[in-house]
Protein backbone atom coordinates (compact mmCIF):
# COMPACT_ATOMS: atom_id res chain seq x y z
CA UNK A 1 0.00 0.00 0.00
CA UNK A 2 2.80 2.36 0.93
CA UNK A 3 4.50 1.52 -2.39
CA UNK A 4 1.33 2.36 -4.25
CA UNK A 5 1.15 5.73 -2.51
CA UNK A 6 4.76 6.56 -3.34
CA UNK A 7 4.17 5.54 -6.95
CA UNK A 8 1.22 7.88 -7.13
CA UNK A 9 3.31 10.64 -5.57
CA UNK A 10 6.15 10.01 -8.01
CA UNK A 11 3.90 9.98 -11.04
CA UNK A 12 2.36 13.27 -9.88
CA UNK A 13 5.81 14.81 -9.47
CA UNK A 14 6.91 13.80 -12.92
CA UNK A 15 3.66 14.47 -14.68
CA UNK A 16 4.00 17.05 -17.46
CA UNK A 17 3.33 20.47 -16.05
CA UNK A 18 4.33 19.57 -12.50
CA UNK A 19 7.73 21.22 -12.89
CA UNK A 20 6.16 24.40 -14.24
CA UNK A 21 3.63 24.47 -11.43
CA UNK A 22 6.43 24.13 -8.89
CA UNK A 23 8.57 26.85 -10.45
CA UNK A 24 5.99 29.55 -10.99
CA UNK A 25 3.14 28.26 -8.79
CA UNK A 26 0.78 29.30 -11.55
CA UNK A 27 1.90 32.93 -11.57
CA UNK A 28 3.28 34.60 -14.65
CA UNK A 29 6.98 35.24 -14.40
CA UNK A 30 7.10 38.42 -16.44
CA UNK A 31 6.46 41.85 -14.97
CA UNK A 32 2.94 43.02 -15.75
CA UNK A 33 3.33 46.80 -15.79
CA UNK A 34 5.80 49.48 -16.80
CA UNK A 35 8.19 50.96 -14.27
CA UNK A 36 6.15 54.17 -14.21
CA UNK A 37 3.02 52.16 -13.36
CA UNK A 38 4.91 50.41 -10.56
CA UNK A 39 5.98 53.83 -9.26
CA UNK A 40 2.40 55.12 -9.36
CA UNK A 41 0.97 51.94 -7.85
CA UNK A 42 3.49 51.24 -5.09
CA UNK A 43 6.26 53.80 -4.59
CA UNK A 44 4.21 57.01 -4.78
CA UNK A 45 1.27 56.16 -2.46
CA UNK A 46 3.40 54.36 0.11
CA UNK A 47 6.13 57.01 0.23
CA UNK A 48 3.36 59.56 0.79
CA UNK A 49 2.08 57.55 3.76
CA UNK A 50 5.58 57.74 5.24
CA UNK A 51 5.78 61.49 4.62
CA UNK A 52 2.40 61.79 6.40
CA UNK A 53 3.92 59.91 9.32
CA UNK A 54 6.78 62.42 9.41
CA UNK A 55 4.26 65.25 9.60
CA UNK A 56 2.05 63.69 12.30
CA UNK A 57 3.26 61.05 14.76
CA UNK A 58 1.39 57.76 14.17
CA UNK A 59 -0.84 56.35 16.87
CA UNK A 60 -2.09 59.66 18.29
CA UNK A 61 -5.72 60.50 18.89
CA UNK A 62 -7.70 61.83 15.95
CA UNK A 63 -8.83 65.41 16.38
CA UNK A 64 -12.62 65.23 16.77
CA UNK A 65 -13.67 68.18 14.65
CA UNK A 66 -17.34 67.34 14.97
CA UNK A 67 -17.27 67.60 18.79
CA UNK A 68 -15.33 70.83 18.70
CA UNK A 69 -17.77 72.21 16.16
CA UNK A 70 -20.78 71.19 18.28
CA UNK A 71 -19.34 73.02 21.26
CA UNK A 72 -18.63 76.10 19.25
CA UNK A 73 -22.06 76.13 17.59
CA UNK A 74 -23.77 75.50 20.94
CA UNK A 75 -22.50 78.86 22.11
CA UNK A 76 -23.67 80.63 18.99
CA UNK A 77 -26.91 79.12 17.69
CA UNK A 78 -30.35 77.80 18.63
CA UNK A 79 -30.64 73.95 18.77
CA UNK A 80 -32.90 73.88 15.67
CA UNK A 81 -30.21 75.61 13.62
CA UNK A 82 -27.57 73.23 14.95
CA UNK A 83 -29.69 70.28 13.80
CA UNK A 84 -29.97 71.68 10.31
CA UNK A 85 -26.24 72.30 10.14
CA UNK A 86 -25.50 68.79 11.44
CA UNK A 87 -27.77 67.24 8.81
CA UNK A 88 -26.08 69.21 6.06
CA UNK A 89 -22.70 68.14 7.44
CA UNK A 90 -23.83 64.48 7.50
CA UNK A 91 -24.94 64.77 3.85
CA UNK A 92 -21.60 66.10 2.76
CA UNK A 93 -19.79 63.47 4.85
CA UNK A 94 -21.79 60.76 3.08
CA UNK A 95 -20.84 62.24 -0.27
CA UNK A 96 -17.21 62.35 0.83
CA UNK A 97 -17.21 58.84 2.25
CA UNK A 98 -18.53 57.48 -1.04
CA UNK A 99 -15.36 55.84 -2.29
CA UNK A 100 -14.08 52.62 -0.79
CA UNK A 101 -10.60 53.99 -0.24
CA UNK A 102 -11.95 57.02 1.63
CA UNK A 103 -14.26 54.86 3.74
CA UNK A 104 -11.48 52.48 4.77
CA UNK A 105 -8.64 55.01 4.87
CA UNK A 106 -8.37 54.81 8.65
CA UNK A 107 -8.70 51.06 9.09
CA UNK A 108 -4.96 50.38 9.50
CA UNK A 109 -4.25 53.86 10.76
CA UNK A 110 -1.18 54.50 12.89
CA UNK A 111 1.83 52.20 13.20
CA UNK A 112 0.36 49.26 11.22
CA UNK A 113 -0.02 51.61 8.27
CA UNK A 114 3.61 52.73 8.57
CA UNK A 115 4.74 49.09 8.70
CA UNK A 116 2.63 48.23 5.65
CA UNK A 117 4.02 51.15 3.66
CA UNK A 118 7.60 50.24 4.62
CA UNK A 119 7.08 46.63 3.52
CA UNK A 120 5.49 47.72 0.23
CA UNK A 121 8.51 49.93 -0.50
CA UNK A 122 11.12 47.35 0.55
CA UNK A 123 9.51 44.63 -1.55
CA UNK A 124 8.64 47.16 -4.26
CA UNK A 125 12.38 47.73 -4.68
CA UNK A 126 12.69 44.08 -5.69
CA UNK A 127 9.85 44.49 -8.19
CA UNK A 128 11.69 47.46 -9.73
CA UNK A 129 14.66 45.11 -10.27
CA UNK A 130 12.69 42.44 -12.18
CA UNK A 131 14.23 41.45 -15.49
CA UNK A 132 12.01 42.33 -18.42
CA UNK A 133 10.42 45.41 -16.84
CA UNK A 134 10.00 48.23 -19.35
CA UNK A 135 9.79 51.95 -18.83
CA UNK A 136 6.86 53.95 -20.18
CA UNK A 137 8.90 54.98 -23.22
CA UNK A 138 9.50 51.35 -24.21
CA UNK A 139 13.14 51.19 -23.06
CA UNK A 140 14.14 48.38 -20.71
CA UNK A 141 14.37 49.49 -17.08
CA UNK A 142 18.11 49.89 -16.42
CA UNK A 143 18.27 46.91 -14.01
CA UNK A 144 21.88 46.18 -14.93
CA UNK A 145 23.21 49.71 -14.29
CA UNK A 146 25.11 50.43 -11.10
CA UNK A 147 23.26 53.60 -10.07
CA UNK A 148 19.88 52.01 -10.59
CA UNK A 149 20.85 48.90 -8.61
CA UNK A 150 22.23 51.15 -5.84
CA UNK A 151 18.98 53.15 -5.78
CA UNK A 152 16.92 49.97 -5.38
CA UNK A 153 19.27 48.74 -2.65
CA UNK A 154 19.04 52.06 -0.79
CA UNK A 155 15.25 51.95 -1.02
CA UNK A 156 15.10 48.45 0.44
CA UNK A 157 17.63 49.27 3.16
CA UNK A 158 15.96 52.52 4.25
CA UNK A 159 12.46 50.99 4.15
CA UNK A 160 13.65 48.12 6.34
CA UNK A 161 14.99 50.72 8.79
CA UNK A 162 11.54 52.35 8.84
CA UNK A 163 9.98 48.93 9.45
CA UNK A 164 12.33 48.18 12.35
CA UNK A 165 11.64 51.57 13.94
CA UNK A 166 7.89 51.12 13.46
CA UNK A 167 7.94 47.72 15.16
CA UNK A 168 9.27 49.31 18.34
CA UNK A 169 7.31 52.53 17.72
CA UNK A 170 10.54 54.52 17.86
CA UNK A 171 9.32 57.72 16.24
CA UNK A 172 12.72 59.44 16.08
CA UNK A 173 14.29 56.45 14.33
CA UNK A 174 11.36 56.22 11.90
CA UNK A 175 11.42 59.94 11.18
CA UNK A 176 15.14 59.74 10.41
CA UNK A 177 14.86 56.62 8.26
CA UNK A 178 12.14 58.23 6.14
CA UNK A 179 14.66 60.88 5.05
CA UNK A 180 16.82 58.05 3.70
CA UNK A 181 13.81 56.63 1.82
CA UNK A 182 13.44 60.02 0.16
CA UNK A 183 17.16 60.02 -0.72
CA UNK A 184 16.81 56.60 -2.35
CA UNK A 185 14.03 57.89 -4.65
CA UNK A 186 16.25 60.81 -5.63
CA UNK A 187 19.24 58.54 -6.18
CA UNK A 188 17.44 56.88 -9.10
CA UNK A 189 15.40 59.81 -10.33
CA UNK A 190 18.30 62.22 -10.78
CA UNK A 191 19.85 59.88 -13.33
CA UNK A 192 17.06 57.78 -14.81
CA UNK A 193 13.96 59.92 -14.53
CA UNK A 194 14.75 63.59 -14.43
CA UNK A 195 18.12 63.44 -16.15
CA UNK A 196 20.71 66.20 -16.24
CA UNK A 197 18.17 68.39 -18.04
CA UNK A 198 14.77 67.83 -16.47
CA UNK A 199 13.00 69.46 -19.43
CA UNK A 200 14.15 66.64 -21.69
CA UNK A 201 13.61 63.76 -19.29
CA UNK A 202 15.75 61.14 -21.05
CA UNK A 203 14.19 58.47 -18.90
CA UNK A 204 15.67 55.05 -18.17
CA UNK A 205 19.00 55.56 -19.94
Q: Using CB under 6 A, list all residues that contact ligand HEC.
A: 34-36, 39-40, 43-44, 47, 121, 128, 135-136, 148, 151-152, 155, 181, 184-185, 188-189, 192-193, 203-204
- Nearby residues of 64 by Cβ (< 8 Å), 6 or more positions away: none
- Give the CA-trace dihedral at 128, 131, 133, 135, to 10 degrees: 80
Smallest distance, Å, CB 168 to ligand HEC?
22
- Give the nearer residue to ligand HEC in terms of CB position, either 70 or 183: 183
Q: Which SS3 state, helix, strand or coil, does residue 134 take?
A: strand
Smallest distance, Å, CB 139 to ligand HEC?
8
25, burial (CB in 10 Å: exposed 0-12, middle 13-18, buried 19+)? exposed
Among 109, 107, 105, residue whose Cα is nearest residue 97 = 105
Residues 53, 118: contact at Cβ < 8 Å? Answer: no
- Give the nearer residue to ligand HEC in terms of CB position, either 155 or 174: 155
Which string of DSSP letters, residue by residue, matches 48-72? HHHHHHHHS-TTPPPP-HHHHHHHH
Smallest distance, Å, CB 17 to ligand HEC?
35
- Give the nearer residue to ligand HEC in terms of CB position, either 39 or 58: 39
The sign one gets for the Cα dihedral 100, 101, 106, 111 is positive
Between the two ends of the chain, the Cα-to-Cα distance in Å is 62
- Give the nearer residue to ligand HEC in terms of CB position, either 44 or 84: 44
- Give the nearer residue to ligand HEC in terms of CB position, either 69 or 116: 116
- Give the nearer residue to ligand HEC in terms of CB position, either 66 or 147: 147
Amino acid sequence: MRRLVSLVVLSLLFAPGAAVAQEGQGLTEEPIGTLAQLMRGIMFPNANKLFDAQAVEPGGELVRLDEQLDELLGDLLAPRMINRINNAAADSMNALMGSTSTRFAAIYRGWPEVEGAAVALADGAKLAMMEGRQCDNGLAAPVDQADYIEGARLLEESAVRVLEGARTQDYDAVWDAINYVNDSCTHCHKTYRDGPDSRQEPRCQ
